[in-house]
Amino acid sequence: MINQKDILINLKKVHGHTLKIIKMLEDEKYCVDIMQQNLAVIGLLKSVHQKLMENHLNTCFKKAFESKNEKKKQEMIDEILKVTKLFNK
Amino acid sequence: MINQKDILINLKKVHGHTLKIIKMLEDEKYCVDIMQQNLAVIGLLKSVHQKLMENHLNTCFKKAFESKNEKKKQEMIDEILKVTKLFNK
Amino acid sequence: MINQKDILINLKKVHGHTLKIIKMLEDEKYCVDIMQQNLAVIGLLKSVHQKLMENHLNTCFKKAFESKNEKKKQEMIDEILKVTKLFNK
Amino acid sequence: MINQKDILINLKKVHGHTLKIIKMLEDEKYCVDIMQQNLAVIGLLKSVHQKLMENHLNTCFKKAFESKNEKKKQEMIDEILKVTKLFNK
């Protein structure tokens, strides 16, 4: 994976940050502060999504398209569309 | 907090799920599968956002609006707009 | 309405821009260029959403909360949550 | 273009719908009703985005990847990432 290190750093931040938000909830912190932390975590995961897409297109996807397997190519395109649709929601 | 229990359940799922995604990355699982798990976590956090907003409007926000403190009311409105703007991004 | 003029300007831009995108499609322009124009229009409408929310909270919403009508207040909160949920999708 | 007809129908709906929203604003209709119409238009444009992406991947993109032009392939990948990033915002 091309940018695996960056992705891991972000996911570890998400993991730690989530614990912090759970603690804020249990300590009954102000809801707007909790919301802002929660939105920050969503931002990190959106950036992970972007990096995963970048990695995918430049590795597995590219490789599949260099083969002559038409069925495989179509599957790859359908996967991208499925993920884009999920993200769209 | 009104629906604290539901929010905690979702955040704990996010916490566990993130570890699973980190493991998938380290095991070099297929990037599209990782992307789908990542999008599922974003979905959970969006639902946490919605529940936090619901709780906020029905508690602190409502209370502030029942006072006669005009400055406080304006602050509450500005906070909602700030959070909506962040979410909008 | 507080910022009606700004909202109208944006909506008129959307109206004009959409015609331009239809023309691009009919002229078979490059799909990525069309996608970028389409995303620009989505950006304009998200900004309209933000301005409408700002206006709503500072006018009708604020006014309803200054009354003593508990049922009306709850309706106003439920409306905000409904709109936030729709936006969330 | 593969699904040009569907895309055109949606864009024409957006065009008409926008005029309706402008009229609602000028007639000072209830802001929450205007917000819901505005969100419906955003939904239509997101669906246009999805269809444009589908068309692009199955036509120009696929074709470029069937050539041996490495520079062109990289450009195609970078374009997808650019559009995904824009949508992400």
One-character DSSP codes across chain D = -TTHHHHHHHHHHHHHHHHHHHHHHHTT--HHHHHHHHHHHHHHHHHHHHHHHHHHIIIIIHHHHHS--HHHHHHHHHHHHHHHHHHH-
Tokens 């704990």, residue located = B12
Question: What is the structure's pLDDT at C88?
Answer: 78
Query: Average of pLDDT values for C68-87?
Result: 92
Of the candidates D78, A66, A52, the one whose C-alpha atom is nearest the C-alpha of residue B30 is: A52
Give how far the C-alpha of residue B57 lies from the chain's centroid of Cα atoms, to the nearest Å. 14
Q: Which two tokens stand for residue D55?
A: 């068309």
Question: What is the structure's pLDDT at D83?
Answer: 94
Contact at 8 Å (CB) between D67 and C37? no
| Nearest residue of D to residue C86, measured between CA atoms | D39
Question: What is the structure's pLDDT at D88?
Answer: 78
Mean model confidence pLDDT for chain A:
93
Handedness of CA C24, C28, C32, C33 (dihedral sign): negative
Q: Which two tokens stand for residue A65?
A: 């398209």
Q: Which ranges of B27-89 would DSSP assign to H, the alpha helix? A: 31-56, 62-66, 70-88
pLDDT at C81 over 80: yes
* DSSP 8-state class, residue A67: S
Mean model confidence pLDDT for chain B:
93
* DSSP 8-state class, residue A30: -
One-letter identity of residue B1: M
Q: How confident is the model at residue B66 (pLDDT cuts 50, 70, 90)?
A: confident
Judged by CB atoms closer than 8 Å, whether chains meet at A35 and B49 is answered as: yes
The three-state DSSP-derived secondary structure of B14-28 is: HHHHHHHHHHHHHCC
B29, with CB counted inside 10 A (0-12, 13-18, 19+), is middle
Q: How confident is the model at residue B57 (pLDDT cuts 50, 70, 90)?
A: very high
Question: What is the structure's pLDDT at D28?
Answer: 94
Give how far the C-alpha of residue D65 lies from the chain's centroid of Cα atoms, to the nearest Å. 23
Question: What is the structure's pLDDT at C11?
Answer: 97
Judging contacts by C-beta atoms under 8 Å, the chain D residues touching residue A52 are none
Number of B/C CB contacts below 8 angstroms equals 46
Question: What is the structure's pLDDT at D78?
Answer: 95
Q: Within chain D, which residues score under 70 in pLDDT?
A: none
With a CB cutoff of 8 Å and minimum separation 6, the contacts of D29 are: none
Query: Average of pLDDT values for C24-29?
Result: 96
Q: How confident is the model at residue C87 (pLDDT cuts 50, 70, 90)?
A: confident
A69 touches chain D (CB under 8 A): no
- pTM score of the predicted model: 0.93
ipTM confidence score: 0.94
Question: What is the structure's pLDDT at B74?
Answer: 92
pLDDT at A72 over 80: yes
Among A26-35, B19-28, C55-64, which is the least confidently predicted range? C55-64
Helix (H, G, I), strand (E, B) or coil at C28: coil
pLDDT digits 0-9 by tens, B30-42? 999 999 999 999 9
pLDDT at A88 over 90: no
D10 touches chain C (CB under 8 A): no
How far apart CA D39 and CA D25 sit, in angstroms, is 15
Question: What is the structure's pLDDT at B14?
Answer: 97
pLDDT at B51 over 90: yes
Contact at 8 Å (CB) between A29 and B52? no
Mean model confidence pLDDT for chain D:
93
Percent of chain C with pLDDT over 90: 81
Q: Which helix (H) or strand (E) holds C79?
A: helix C70-88
pLDDT digits 0-9 by tens, A25-68? 999 999 999 999 999 999 999 999 999 999 999 999 988 888 88
How far apart CA D64 and CA A77 sit, in angstroms, is 14
Q: Which two tokens stand for residue D33?
A: 């009703």
Rg (CA), chain D: 18
Question: What is the structure's pLDDT at D59?
Answer: 93
Q: Which two tokens stand for residue D32?
A: 């929450």
Of the candidates A79, C62, C13, the one whose C-alpha atom is nearest the C-alpha of residue B31 is: A79
One-letter identity of residue A41: V
* DSSP 8-state class, residue C67: S
Interface of A with B in 19-48 (CB under 8 A): 19, 21-22, 25-26, 28, 30-32, 34-36, 38-39, 41-43, 45-46, 48
Handedness of CA B2, B8, B11, B13 (dihedral sign): negative
* DSSP 8-state class, residue C3: T
How far apart CA D82 and CA D87 sit, in angstroms, is 9
